[in-house]
Structure 1
Amino acid sequence: MKLKILKSIRTNNFNDIYLEDKIQRIWREASIHFPKDKVATYGVYHKYSSNYKGDYTLSIAIADDSNNSETTLNIPDDINYEQFQVDLKDELGVINTWKKIWKLEESGELKRTYTYDFEKYDPNGKIEIFIAIA
């Protein structure tokens, strides 16, 4: 899958006191560049330093078929994913889904590879989180 990176940040879920502000800011800044026609947008988690407690890069992206290597993120097609549906009725659905993912990992029920994970925001409002697994 080829994605065009619109904005990126480096952060940590547990040690970055500005985490929430950073994430809100890059989504806001990236949204200016969203195409006018409805396309899926992605929050891609990559360049992990360790596990979910370590530093990582979050990139806001859209589908892209161009060959502009400076802004393109190429996610290999051979990665296996566990897919999680976000409860859209829950105001904190995305956050609560991540907490569920972390809990499954802690219990040994989810074997993550820490390559590329992503949130997919469909134009129809559906939100899914894809976790790379072994």
Structure 2
Amino acid sequence: MAYSLKSVTIRTDNSESGMAKINELWADIMTGKIPLDFVKNGVPVKGLSPISAYSDYESDEKGKYNLSVMTVTAAFFAKMEELVAQGKYVKIDEKGETIADCANKAWSKVWQLTASGELKRAFTIDYESTVPAEYTKDGKAHCYLYIAVK
């Protein structure tokens, strides 16, 4: 049966085994084992982007949460920028040599700001968009986090 999905969700946490589940999910998506509709025959579809949504938090970053990988259009990012301007979300932008590098930097910054009290997270729904270096003008991978705030 041929099909493509708009999203896939797993329940996980930030433990070592939870991170392994996340890595396995992304590997399955990128190899086509899980056919999300932002990529066809291993090639990204123009105008579509994958994002991760973190929701249904059990407590905070130490508890379980749902991770959904879904496909969005540019309109999603425009809406998120509006929510940032309204003070409902904070945008964190980090870059690095690899997607893993910039994502680790971005999440470490969120956790540091949360621990210091500078960031009051709502733990409702957060979003992550990573862009591989080969698709950026500066040749660096980028990670954009949209963190819901109280």
1:35, CA displacement in angstroms? 3.4
Deviation per CA, 1:2-28: give whole Å up to 9, x if none. Answer: xx75221111113xx422221111112
Matched, 1:132 2:148: yes
1:79, CA displacement in angstroms? 7.8
Matched, 1:43 2:52: yes
- In 1, are the aligned partners of 2:103 and 2:130 still within 8 Å (CA)? no
Which secondary structure state, in structure 2, belongs to the residue aligned with residue 94 of structure 1?
A: helix
- In 1, are the aligned partners of 2:121 and 2:147 still within 8 Å (CA)? yes
Kindly report the root-mean-square deviation, in angstroms, between the aligned alpha carbons of the 2 structures.
2.5
Q: Distance in 2 between matches of 1:59 and 1:96?
A: 21
Counterpart residue number, 1:85: 93
Moved over 4 A (4+): none
Aligned residues: 118
Q: Distance in 1 between matches of 2:101 and 2:39?
A: 26
Of structures 1 and 2, the larger Rg is shown by 2
* Ranges in structure 2 where 5+ consecutive residues have no aligned partner: 74-79, 137-141
Counterparts of 1:1-134 in structure 2, within 5 Å, are 5-14=6-15, 17-31=16-30, 32=32, 33=36, 34-36=38-40, 37-38=45-46, 39-63=48-72, 80-89=88-97, 92-122=101-131, 124-125=135-136, 126-134=142-150
Q: Distance in 2 between matches of 1:79 and 1:53?
A: 25
Q: Distance in 2 between matches of 1:83 and 1:130?
A: 5
The percentage of aligned residue pairs carrying the same residue is: 30
* Ranges in structure 1 where 5+ consecutive residues have no aligned partner: 65-74
Is the helix fraction higher in 1 or 2? 2
Which secondary structure state, in structure 2, belongs to the residue aligned with residue 54 of structure 1?
A: coil
Cα distance, 1:79–1:46 mapped onto 2, change above 3 Å: farther
- In 2, are the aligned partners of 1:7 and 1:29 still within 8 Å (CA)? no
Q: Supply the AA of the counterpart residue of 2:57.
A: Y
1:122, CA displacement in angstroms? 4.8
1:59, CA displacement in angstroms? 0.7
- TM-score, normalised on structure 1? 0.74
